[in-house]
Amino acid sequence: MIKCVIFDCDGTMFDTEKLAKKAYEDFASAHDVVLDQEFWGGICGTGYEYAKPQLERYPVIAENLSKIAANRLHNITQGALFAKDNLVKKGLYELLDYCKANQIKVAIASSSHLEYVTMLLNHMSKPYEFDFILCGDMITHKKPDPEIFNTVVEKLGVKPEETLVLEDSIMGLIAAKRANTIAGFIEDCVIKNEKIEELLDVEFPDFTFVPQYLR
């Protein structure tokens, strides 16, 4: 029986990774650089510590991260796209309602900073009380290190094998497996490949399919 669901934030709860990817690709294109799937899989869902090997493959990207980050935030927060709920992934509200009704704990474990995650949560028209929120600036090591999931599981007093992690990145899946939780994959910008197939325990097209699995 699943007693806890842990959500990744970017690309999982919110449709933000496509906008982040656009910021990287726009900058790369302006400098005649083509970014491959290996690059995106290596930087998505983690921090600089683990993304560095991929970033260093493209020096012009590595040298301009602050500029790209500013464009990323602009893409996410500006205009009609950031109107209430426009970035909320399909079925998120229904899944959160199901967990609440069935006394399944819900947590957020994101490599992003708390201020940014809070901004996205405020974008939701229907507020939720999460049992625990843990972000990248609150831990020592980001995904694929299992610290973030180990901490959430310990804090909420559940067993790893009773915990479903919902992720859209390779780094997140690795962390989930290292924490001995159930690794759930929902494809977004990182395309499923053999590595992801090896890591995932269960795959969902979107959140609407999760309650059936929990039952």
Mean pLDDT value across residues 116-127: 92
- Residues 117, 23: Cα–Cα separation, whole Å: 19
Cis peptide before 144 (omega within 30 of 0): yes
Say which DSSP state 55 is in.
H
Is residue 80 pLDDT above 80, yes or no?
no
- Residue ranges per structural domain of the chain: 4-14+83-214, 17-82
Which parts of 55-180 are beta strand (E)?
Answer: 105-110, 132-135, 163-167
Structure confidence at residue 82 as a pLDDT band (50, 70, 90): confident
* Count of residues making up the chain: 215
Structure confidence at residue 167 as a pLDDT band (50, 70, 90): very high
Range of weakest confidence among 17-21, 81-85, 121-125: 81-85
Mean pLDDT value across residues 101-111: 97
**Per CATH, domain 4-14+83-214 is 3.40.50.1000:** yes
Mean pLDDT, all residues of the chain: 94
* In contact, 4 and 163? CB cutoff 8 Å: yes
Q: Say what the pLDDT of residue 55 is.
A: 93
Q: Which residues contact 70 (CB under 8 A, 6 or more apart)?
A: none
